[in-house]
Amino acid sequence: MAGKGGIEVEGTVVECLRDAKFTVELPNGHRVLAHVSGKVRKNFIKVLPYDRVLVELSPYDLNRGRILFRYRS
Amino acid sequence: MNTLRFTAGDPAVEITQITPRLWHALDDDRVTGRGEAITRPDGRIFLSVDAWHRSVFDQLARAMLAALPDPLHTVVDESDQELLAGWQRAGLTIRRREWEYAVPTRPALPAPGLTIGPAEDGPLRELERVVRAQIEETVGWQEMPAEVMVRPDGDTSMYTVAVENGEYVGLVRVTQLTRLPRIGLIAVRADRQRHGIARALLTHALGALHQAGVGTATAEVNEANVAATALFEGIGARRTGSTVELVRHGR
């Protein structure tokens, strides 16, 4: 049986960090440390500063997230 | 900030196989981890695991590896040491590396003796057939990008071809889904290689991007492909990172 997913929110990449991590700013100004999801990685999708992305926040730490999707525009 | 993705304090999770290719880690009915397997057009199975804790990653990877047939593959940004270590704990080993390049665009120079331009579906399909056959006879699909295999019917918009004596002899594929275009594939017929056709195609593609106001493109090149590495570095491409492919061959 599938359970509930995490909180998903749109944000903007403001910085690419080392170790394949990114700082993503959410619409409320909160910034999270995010990494790319496996699906994004498997599809060779590059994430760059100013990209709009969909982030799933960690239920254990709201300062962390994973990038589920990068919008084209 | 120096937050680790995989942290201590193991949550008690239940690993559930949702479909033959999808696993969830459930913590009190909340999905806190996912494992997924996809089959690429060349038939190889690629895995991914997303988890917030190291122990959950390990449990998901273990469940997937037990259920799926070998060989199993995954790809990891080499700078992501946590993820790399996770897959190595699961028993996968590095099989190959791809360099990622930032490729500067510049005005194109004419290519003597060659006509370079947009592709038509029929002759492009024939060139793709030839390229597929020469790959199967030489390095094999496991060394090639997935794009070689699949092209939507009739869609030639991403392709530029080199024509010699009325015959398609080479192609370059450029995708531009975002502001950073990607050079996905350059291929030249085996009997026309070492005549500068790949370089001419690449120069032409970069010239078109330059004209469109794009300053940089990206490309990934297999570390073992000496000719391609020399081609990109010869036009001023700069290495920006690397991706490794890991594999588990068998129990």
What is the rounded distance in angstroms from the CA atom of residue B6 to the CA atom of residue B9?
A: 10
Asked if B76 and B61 count as a contact pair (C-beta separation under 8 A), the reply is: no
Shortest CB distance from A42 goes to which of B46, B179, B180? B46
Distance from CA of A33 to the nearest CA of B (A): 8
* Total number of domains in chain B: 2
Whether A39 contacts chain B with CB within 8 A: yes
User: What is the DSSP-derived secondary structure letter of residue B188?
Assistant: E
Question: Cβ of A46 and B180 within 8 Å?
Answer: yes
Is the same domain home to B173 and B228? yes
Question: Cβ of A4 and B31 within 8 Å?
Answer: yes
Joined tokens for residue B45: 């199975």
Question: What is the ipTM for the molecules in this complex?
Answer: 0.89
Per-position DSSP letters for B74-90, written without gaps between them: EEEETT-HHHHHHHHHT
Asked if B49 and B69 count as a contact pair (C-beta separation under 8 A), the reply is: no
- Chain A residues within 8 A of B1 when measuring between CB atoms: 33, 63
For residue B163, give Cα distances in angstroms to B128, B184, B189.
Answer: 14, 20, 11
Check residue B9 and give its pLDDT.
55
Asked if A14 and A30 count as a contact pair (C-beta separation under 8 A), the reply is: no
Distance from CA of A7 to the nearest CA of B (A): 11
Report if residue B199 sits inside a domain.
yes
- Which letter, b or e, does each residue of A2-26 get, where b requires 16 or more Cβ atoms within 10 Å of its Cβ? ebeebeebebbbeeeeeebbbbbeb
- Chain A residues within 8 A of B76 when measuring between CB atoms: 41
Is the same domain home to B146 and B232? yes
Q: What is the pLDDT of residues B95-143, one digit of tens each?
A: 999 999 999 999 988 778 889 999 999 999 999 899 888 888 887 766 6
Check residue B3 and give its pLDDT.
35
Q: Which domain holds residue B154?
A: 101-242
What is the rounded distance in angstroms from the CA atom of residue B17 to the CA atom of residue B244?
A: 27
Check residue B95 and give its pLDDT.
93
Which among B251, B222, B246, B223 has a CA at the least distance from the CA of B45? B246
Report if residue B8 sits inside a domain.
no
Q: Provide the CATH number for the domain around residue B28.
A: 3.40.630.30
Is the same domain home to B131 and B158? yes
Asked if B148 and B132 count as a contact pair (C-beta separation under 8 A), the reply is: yes
Shortest CB distance from B26 goes to which of A3, A36, A41? A3
Single pTM value for the model:
0.83
Joined tokens for residue A27: 């619409």
Is the same domain home to B63 and B162? no
Shortest CB distance from B32 goes to which of A35, A48, A59? A59
Tokens 């570390």, residue located: B223
Report if residue B250 sits inside a domain.
no
Tell which wins on pLDDT, A73 or A33.
Answer: A33
Q: What is the pLDDT of residues A14-55, one digit of tens each?
A: 999 988 899 999 999 999 999 999 888 877 788 989 999 999
Question: Cβ of B48 and A37 within 8 Å?
Answer: yes
Joined tokens for residue B236: 């001023």
Residues of chain B with confidence (pLDDT) below 50:
1-5, 7-8
Is the same domain home to B114 and B197? yes
Helix B81-89 with B54-67: angle, nearest 10 deg: 50
